[in-house]
Amino acid sequence: MTESRAAAHTILVADAGYQAAAAELAADYPDLRLVCADDDANALESDAVTGLIAGAATVDEALLQSLPSLKVALKLGRSYSNIDVDALRRRGVNFGTVPRKGPNCVAELAMTLILALSKDLVNSHEAVSQGAYRYRGLTPERTAERKIAFHWMHNSRVHEVVGKTLGIIGMGEIGCELARRASVMGMRTVYYKRRPLSAELEALFDARYASLNALLEASDYICVATPHTAETEGMIGAPQIARMKASAYIVNIARGGIIDEDAMIDALRHNRIAGAGLDVFTYEPLPADSPLCELHNVILCPHIGGGSGTNRGIELGAALAAMRQALAD
């Protein structure tokens, strides 16, 4: 065994499916010996494991007892409901979280849509670019510090998000990242999921649990961020939309089939809800003859929530960089 390998920390990646990513990253982290959950069982010398990286894998007392030399545990993603943090603290293990690129990208788009809707951004742009001032009897004049054409559109939809309530349906990694951003913007966050977060996580993300009906009735913005399953297919239909405020907006960055698109279109057409920001649709690309293309209270995106893209190698690499730093401290 070489000197560098002998001095390497053994890092256990607790989730299956990371073998290829670990192999690609091994040369960049010669000081970390990577062992994956789906490696041959003989590859794991549990007494040598000093670092643990977990995504969705359960980290409980039983696992920790099998890793007596563990010094650092990192959660891949900010929400750690699958981690027994009390057990880690009792053992004196240094614990932290590493944000995942994928959920960050989607949460950024959700927040972008919320802010764009609050400023009626698409209609505002079109009014300026098309010279709509001409239909209001206005003439362009040179501006000065106290001479401006403030709010010349007189657009009643423009408002601030501070103090507004954001309802997040599905409080997974995307929902938690969105809640962090909403809190910074001064919004209140309520969320709905099958199993509420712990009090510790609710405090971390500045969010409180609500039933689905209560969330729909209280929220100024509703963001759908839950997986598309047989259970969630059409979960936001006409009865649910009817519970929303007439001044509320719906944002969907999950999957199109979770919302009854026809019911949503009908509500948007008749101003029973104020608007929508949509990155996903029942059919993609959105058909050119969709009624959504004709509505002025929606913002449409071509499923760009994933941003510039990510993969397990990118996200594991971020965790390994954080692990190296934590073990060096």
Q: Which residues are identified as catalytic?
A: 255, 284, 303
Tell me which H or E stretch contains 76: strand 72-76
Amino acid letter for position 200: E
- Centre a 10 Å sphere on the Cβ of residue 41 and count the other Cβ atoms it contains: 6
CB environment 243-273: b (16+ within 10 A), e (fewer): ebbeebbbbbbbbbbbbbbebbbebbeeebb
Those residues with Cβ within 8 angstroms of residue 158's Cβ, 6 or more apart along the chain or in another chain: 118, 119, 120, 124, 151
- The CA-atom distances, in angstroms, between 216 and each of 31, 256, 265, 277 are 50, 18, 17, 16
Those residues with Cβ within 8 angstroms of residue 268's Cβ, 6 or more apart along the chain or in another chain: 275, 276, 292, 295, 297, 298
CA distance 51 to 329: 13
In this structure, what token pair is assigned to residue 120?
């009626």
Query: Which 3 state secondary structure label does DSSP give 78?
Result: coil
- Centre a 10 Å sphere on the Cβ of residue 87 and count the other Cβ atoms it contains: 17
Burial of 79 (0-12, 13-18, 19+ CB in 10 A): buried
CA distance 207 to 279: 24
CA distance 22 to 312: 9
DSSP calls for 125-177: HHHHHTTGGGGGT------BTTB--TTTT--TT----TTPEEEEES-SHHHHH
